[in-house]
Chain A
Amino acid sequence: MKRKLLVALVLGIMVVPFLMDTATAKTLKLGSMGPLTGPYAADGNDIKNGVLCAIDVINDQGGVPGYDKIELFPQDTACDPKQAVASANKLINLEVVGVIGAYCSSSTIPASETLAEEDIIMITPASTNEKVTDRGLPYMFRMCGRDDDQAPAAVKFMKEALGAKTIFILDDKTTYSQGLADGVEKACKEMGLTVLGRDHVNQGDKDFSAILTMARDKNADVFYMSLQNHASGSLMAIQAKRMGLKSKIISQDAMFHPNFISVAKDAAEGVYVTYGYTDKTTDAYKAYEKRFSAKYGQIGAYGTYAYDAAIALMTAIKNAGSTDPAKIKAEMMKLDYDGASKHVKFRPNGDSGSSYVAFKIDGGDYKLYWTPEKGILK
């Protein structure tokens, strides 16, 4: 009997630290959403790492007052709308204060509707489709640019900088790529470019020889390559080069990833990419770059936006001194500072503005080539 009591006592003492932990430690819970597996895993991991990087920075500055630690719950959406909604529900159950994500517009939109029911703040670092913020959800924010800004910027670039008159447009039927391709087609008609051809491929295709032969046959000045991810983009660039496609290749923000160049190598040279302008000479960017590269290696396209989104969210929580969504939102709207990717200042609809410029891949790197204001940069 005595022995049993002793065992019970020892076990009881062993449990104490855990009880104390739950009693005293207060955790600020954040969520992130993105494809951590599947074809877009590279971008999803960039988003997660960007947020983790932001949490490190905030921790270095003393964390968020009132909380002992900040914990991130990364969710894998696999770029699938159903899984995105499931991830959103999981984050609701975990009682997160805010969510950074998701990646594909097609999963951000349904997930945001689920999160909106619980008034949870969502900031997307990567979904550029107009509908993301145009639906008027009160707690939806966006750190990256918008398709209806990117498409006209791309066409303006083709017309003014490259002197293009004809175009061949290709997309892979995702909400993002097709929306952007539609936007480009519309802008071409407005600005007087002739669309010689418009076709689609399937996501995950590897063989583009048929479609590239068709594009070569049309011989347009510009081949607009609108694809969801850079992996298929680099395959297409390689095959286009081998096929002898003479048109200039222009693509969008999804191709702004170091892996695009490291896989396509020579074939990537001379490809133009429209992407939001990030001034890499600012202190904010340099500080971010140093921290991100040390821990996670090369900076991917959406890591920077995810970092800024997370910093904005945590700063707003700090300033609000509360996790009440309305108060956080009010603080988000007041933010006005230079982030790593751009100047952070939200508009009433949740957008933070677009700053699309054109990059040219030259010598294995993205070189800033053209801006709408200054034209071709020398």
Chain B
Amino acid sequence: MEYFIQQLINGLTLGGLYALIALGYTMVYGVIQLINFAHGEFFAAGGYVGVIVLNYFAGRGLMDSNPWLCLAASLALTMAYCAFLAMAVEKVAYKPLRHQSRLAVLLSALGMSIFLQNALMLTQGVFDKPYPGEKFSGGLVFGDIRISVLQMMIVGLTILLLVGLNLLVFKTRIGMAMRATAQDKIMTSLVAISSNRIISLTFAIGSGLAAAAGIMVGLYYGSVRYDMGFVPGIKAFAAAVLGGIGNITGAMLGGLIIGMVEIFGAGYISGQYKDVFAFIILIAVLYFKPTGIMGENVDDTRV
């Protein structure tokens, strides 16, 4: 039983991380029907900017006195940086192709992903960059069950950001504009809502969430690497599709399911088929419900 609970906690943490990354995929898809393959790289960039900022604080001795404040500040800075990065990428690589075929934008996204990954490799080097994660050690211990501070932090932050995002999308005017743009770009621009601005904003928010996940991953696993964006990017994409791409709650659910399946598959069967389990679930769900769990059988234009 203790074993099960421990694996459940591990699964929740991993699922939370996937969910955070998946949200960006799903939001961008919801608004402009683009699978943004460069999204994983925003996540990796977030991990790197996070460690640079944290090391800057550590170098000034601030990490020792108030580590939590430093973490909050670096989260805010990193999310802002990645938001701007995503907006810039959108301007350069996607906006000029908006009226071309979807394939052109998709290829542009793939190219951007390779470009960003190589830029990270060339500027940051090929070695792992260690994270000052030991400041956040400790946690709760119940017999054989351990919940580390970082695990609580990841789950907590995921819930917080999700609630915030839901409020933004469903309770504010900006959210309303986003949903409207998703439904019909031309009609929305006729009522004086700048669809370009809304699209930029969608990229910014999605990338900000991925950047938060990047910092969390760095702290939780202890280091970041220039190619860290690829595999979680693919998993998060799978999570978004599993949940019904374009649907925010679906992305969250998909992330959690993939995280859980991976951990339980590895914990009860074998670690070598971890990725296989995740994708078997994806295929099974899509076979029986092609729109994904939360997807609806309507036109694929919804946030």
A→B interface (CB under 8 Å): 37-39, 41-42, 45, 170, 173, 199-202, 204-211, 213-214, 216-217, 231, 234-235, 238-239, 242-244, 259, 262-267
Contact = CB atoms under 8 A, between A and B. Distances in A.
B262 A204 contact: no
Given A235-B221, A238-B221, A211 B128 contact: no
> A-side binding surface: helix, strand, loop or mixed?
helix
B198 interface: no
Interface in B224-253: 225, 227-228, 231-232
Given A214-B3, A264-B222, A265-B134, 20 more contacts: A37-B121, A38-B227, A42-B126, A199-B270, A202-B274, A204-B231, A206-B231, A206-B232, A207-B262, A209-B14, A210-B7, A210-B10, A213-B3, A214-B266, A235-B222, A238-B222, A239-B221, A259-B127, A263-B223, A267-B222
B217 interface: yes
Contacts of A265: 130, 134
B130 A207 contact: no
Nearest to A40: B126
A210 B263 contact: yes
B84 to A, nearest CB: 27
A312 to B, nearest CB: 28
B267 A213 contact: yes
Contact of A213 (B7, B128, B231): B7
Interface size class of B (residues with CB under 8 A): 35 or more
A41 B126 contact: yes
B133 interface: yes
Contacts of A207: 10, 14, 221, 262-263
B146 A214 contact: no
B6 interface: yes
A201 B222 contact: no
Given A214-B267, A244-B146, A266 B134 contact: yes
B65 interface: no
Max chain B C-beta neighbours (<10 A), residue from A204, A213, A259 = A213
Instruction: Specify which of A210, A211, A242 lies most central, judged by the most chain B CB atoms within 10 Å of its CB.
Output: A210
Interface of B: 3, 6-7, 10-11, 13-14, 121, 126-128, 130, 133-134, 137, 141, 144, 146, 148, 150, 217, 221-223, 225, 227-228, 231-232, 262-267, 270-272, 274-275
Contacts of A214: 3, 266-267
B6 A199 contact: no
Given A234-B128, A259-B127, A209 B13 contact: yes
Contacts of B217: 206
Contacts of A37: 121, 126
B222 A239 contact: yes
A7 B137 CA distance: 75
A243 B223 CA distance: 17
Given A42-B127, A209-B13, A242-B137, A263 B272 contact: no
A242 B223 CA distance: 14
B225 A231 contact: yes
Contacts of B148: 242
A243 B146 contact: yes
A213 B222 contact: no
Given A210-B262, A266-B134, A202 B10 contact: no
A265 B225 CA distance: 17
8 contacts: A200-B271, A201-B271, A204-B231, A207-B262, A211-B266, A211-B267, A231-B127, A238-B222
Contacts of B6: 213
Contacts of A209: 10, 13-14, 263
B123 to A, nearest CB: 15
Contacts of A173: 272
Contact of B271 (A202, A259, A262): A202
B274 A263 contact: no
User: Which 4 pairs, one residue from A and one from B, show the smallest C-beta to C-beta distance?
Assistant: A210-B266, A200-B272, A238-B222, A209-B10
